Amino acid sequence: MNKQKLNNNLFYFSTLLVLAGILLKISNYQTASYAYLAGACLFTLSRVFNFILNRTKVRGRLLQIQIFSGMSLIFSAALMYRGSNSWSVFVLLTALLELYVSFRGGEFSK
């Protein structure tokens, strides 16, 4: 299995863990923050691997934005663990940053 395929599988698995953690938190499960934190750490790790594997001069800044969005997920996991309701703001920030990168990244993939 090549490195890019392994990184893609890590990304898909981490995204599922993050989504499961959010749904469990909405359902008021006590252990939701642990599943969310595991997914957020794996998400950030996959973004760092993506930065290492695909870094070019043009795409470097977009990949740095993706790493920042992963760190935002980790910070929201800390807020979720503390019982604060402001974790959802950082999830929204991550979603907006990933949406921005997905639209900006399309013009550099040619």
pLDDT on residue 107: 54
pLDDT on residue 105: 73
pLDDT on residue 90: 96
Question: Residue 54, Cβ neighbours under 10 Å: how many?
Answer: 13
Closest of 49, 43, 50 to residue 15, by C-alpha: 43
pTM for the full predicted model: 0.88
pLDDT on residue 48: 93
Rounded Cα gap, residues 3 and 102, in angstroms: 21
For the chain, the domains span 3-105
Q: What is the pLDDT along the chain (110 residues), one digit of tens a residue?
A: 798 899 999 999 999 999 999 999 999 988 899 999 999 999 999 999 988 888 777 788 888 999 999 999 999 999 999 988 899 999 999 999 999 998 887 655 54
pLDDT on residue 4: 85
